[in-house]
Amino acid sequence: MWKLNDKFSLLCEIGSAKSLLRAHDFHFNIGNKNFQEVVCHNERFGGNDEV
């Protein structure tokens, strides 16, 4: 299980389609719960997106 502040990248390949989920350093609260931003994209892979 991932915890707040963990860094991760998850690459999903289905056929020729690729999508990347990656944790960001942005945190936010909803009520008394803490969350960390995770983004998904399928266009550019490289730089910070290496898995």
Q: What is the pLDDT, as a whole number, of residue 39?
A: 80
Q: What is the pLDDT, as a whole number, of residue 2?
A: 64
Q: What is the pLDDT, as a whole number, of residue 51?
A: 47
Q: What is the pLDDT, as a whole number, of residue 45?
A: 57
Q: Where are the domains of the chain?
A: 9-49
Q: What is the pLDDT, as a whole number, of residue 47?
A: 55
Query: pLDDT 10s digit of each residue in the chain, 51 long?
Result: 667 677 777 788 888 888 888 777 788 999 999 888 888 777 665 655 554
Give the C-alpha separation, 9 to 23, whole Å. 7
Strand order in the sheet with 33-41: 9-14, 17-30, 33-41
